[in-house]
């Protein structure tokens, strides 16, 4: 049986999971692909750092260059994380003609275009299934399964921490701060949780998916991002009463017929964003709960598809890394190092739509003085902006200096809505900053 020698960078959560999985299922993997993966060396920061999976010290080194540049190492797995040293590691391996497997979403988001170009120039490949949605094979689906489709819509629940918090808020009627503390206690959220709850982790992932789906690199600078930090239990309850569930969504929409930003390509115009949104309870994404992830993809040929599973954690991520290792080993075995290129620019470069031009339906919650004429003042602002009200909902049972007023708004440009909300917030009858969430019908 042919053997491929593997060098690994990183022995922490993901690296330890891959080491464990290779020990348990390496023989199974070899029997299925006809190639045996031999782990030669693992580069770590320090020999004595704590690890969830014990690794024999004979396999360890603190010098990643001795792993990457070892002439016996044919395949490199970068599982260390970060965007500085990891970038150097991957570029060094690619320039040496060695295929690389990575789980590094932040690095791909920041430097993916450069890394893919380096892989192409070296005639080798970069595999990155584990960078998005853990064990869900969404990268392979977009690269291979949907190769004959134009992707019209992609919606992703791609951050398990946020989904866990929102699920608990809806299920138990709890406030955001309490559920964040519980997620931290259980290990779903970091002690410093801003990467997750402010939407930046989702931004990294949805940017990768958008770039892969539409064939032009979407810079993180062109992705609008909002997190869930400002959500109230009121919003969860009122959305439920209206037939919706709130999820943090990564959104990728192909838009045809809209004016294109100047000097931003001639291909498809695509909205790419991350924000909490109301989605109908009747849609399957509304039932994705706890720390699970799901990605909904609509292709022009295949129609609607859904990918569901655990989006993070040692074992799901290790499973995705093993899948890439198997592909890389097979490509090496058959002498086809770039059989499926990691990223292929399409025939015409596209552009990301600025959020100000994006059109959506909206949920708006106002805290207002409970007296006649309030709704007329608010409706007048929306009327002057040519924004239509779909419905008005004022829940009973709220007393005090201010009461909630819920508006459901017809399709309107984001810029117009933002301006109107600013005007509402300056009304004397409005007692708190307005809350606006987008409504995604997923039609």
CA distance 190 to 188: 7
Hey, which residues are catalytic here? Answer: 205
Q: Which residue, chain included where needed, has tokens 């584990």? A: 130
* CA 23/CA 128 separation, integer angstroms: 22
Q: Per the structure block, which two tokens stand in for 15?
A: 């690296």
| Separation CA 398–CA 216 (nearest Å) | 50
Buried b (16+ CB within 10 A) or exposed e, 331-348: bbeeeebeeeebbebeee
**Helices assigned H by DSSP within 176-302:** 176-186, 194-197, 200-214, 233-241
Lookup: tokens for 233: 């239990």
Long-range CB contacts for residues 257-265, cutoff 8 Å, separation at least 24 = 258/353, 258/357, 259/357, 260/351, 261/351, 261/353, 261/354, 264/351, 264/352, 265/216, 265/348, 265/349, 265/350, 265/351
Other C-beta atoms within 10 Å of 206: how many?
A: 30
5: enclosing H helix or E strand: strand 2-9
Residue 34's Cβ-count burial label (10 Å; 0-12, 13-18, 19+) is exposed
| Residue 401 structure tokens | 């200096």
Q: Torsions phi, psi of 224, nearest 5?
A: -75, 135
Segment (H or E) for 102 = strand 100-102
Angle at 310 between CA 305 and CA 311, to 5 degrees: 85
Rounded Cα–Cα distance for residues 37 and 124 (Å): 18
Find tokens 């606006």 and name the residue.
Answer: 436
**Enclosing H/E stretch for 294:** strand 292-299
Q: Which residues contact 180 (CB under 8 A, 6 or more apart)?
A: 165, 189, 193, 197
Residues 6+ apart with CB under 8 A from 55: 11, 16, 19, 42
């Amino acid at each position: 049986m042919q053997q491929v020698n593997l060098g690994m960078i990183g022995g922490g959560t993901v690296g330890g999971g891959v080491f464990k999985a290779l020990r348990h299922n390496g023989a199974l993997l070899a029997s299925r692909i006809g190639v045996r993966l031999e782990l030669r060396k693992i580069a770590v920061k320090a020999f004595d750092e704590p690890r969830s999976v014990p690794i024999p010290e004979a396999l360890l080194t603190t010098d990643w260059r001795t792993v990457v540049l070892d002439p016996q190492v044919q395949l490199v797995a970068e599982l260390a994380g970060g965007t500085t040293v990891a970038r150097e590691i991957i570029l060094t391996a690619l320039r040496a003609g060695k295929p690389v497997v990575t789980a590094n979403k932040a690095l791909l988001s920041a430097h993916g275009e450069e890394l893919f170009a380096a892989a192409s120039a070296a005639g080798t490949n970069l595999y990155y299934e584990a960078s998005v949605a853990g064990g869900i094979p969404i990268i392979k689906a977009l690269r291979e399964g949907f190769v004959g489709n134009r992707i019209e819509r992609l919606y992703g629940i791609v951050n398990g921490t946020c989904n866990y918090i929102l699920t608990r808020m809806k299920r138990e009627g709890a406030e955001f701060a309490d559920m964040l503390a519980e997620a931290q206690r259980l290990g779903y959220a970091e002690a410093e949780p801003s990467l997750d709850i402010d939407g930046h982790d989702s931004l990294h992932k949805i940017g990768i998916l958008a770039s892969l789906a539409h064939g032009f690199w979407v810079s993180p600078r062109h992705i609008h991002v909002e997190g869930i930090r400002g959500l109230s239990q009121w919003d969860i309850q009122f959305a439920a009463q209206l037939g919706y569930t709130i999820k943090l969504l990564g959104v990728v929409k192909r838009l045809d017929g809209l004016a294109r930003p100047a000097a931003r390509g001639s291909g498809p115009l695509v909205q790419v964003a991350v924000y909490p949104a109301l989605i109908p309870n009747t849609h399957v994404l509304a039932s994705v709960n706890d720390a699970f992830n799901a990605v909904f993809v609509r292709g022009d040929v295949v129609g609607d598809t859904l990918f569901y599973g655990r989006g993070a954690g040692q074992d799901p991520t290790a499973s995705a890394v093993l899948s890439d290792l198997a592909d890389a080993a097979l490509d090496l075995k058959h002498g086809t190092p770039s059989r499926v290129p990691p990223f292929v620019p399409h025939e015409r470069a596209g552009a990301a739509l600025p959020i100000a031009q994006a059109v959506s339906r909206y949920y708006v919650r106002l805290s207002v003085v409970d007296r006649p004429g309030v709704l007329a003042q608010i409706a007048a602002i929306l009327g002057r902006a040519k924004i239509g009200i779909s419905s008005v909902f004022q829940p009973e049972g709220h007393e005090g200096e201010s009461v909630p007023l819920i508006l459901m708004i017809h399709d309107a440009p984001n810029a117009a809505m933002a301006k109107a909300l600013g005007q509402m917030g300056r009304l004397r009858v409005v007692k708190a900053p307005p809350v606006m969430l987008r409504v995604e019908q997923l039609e």
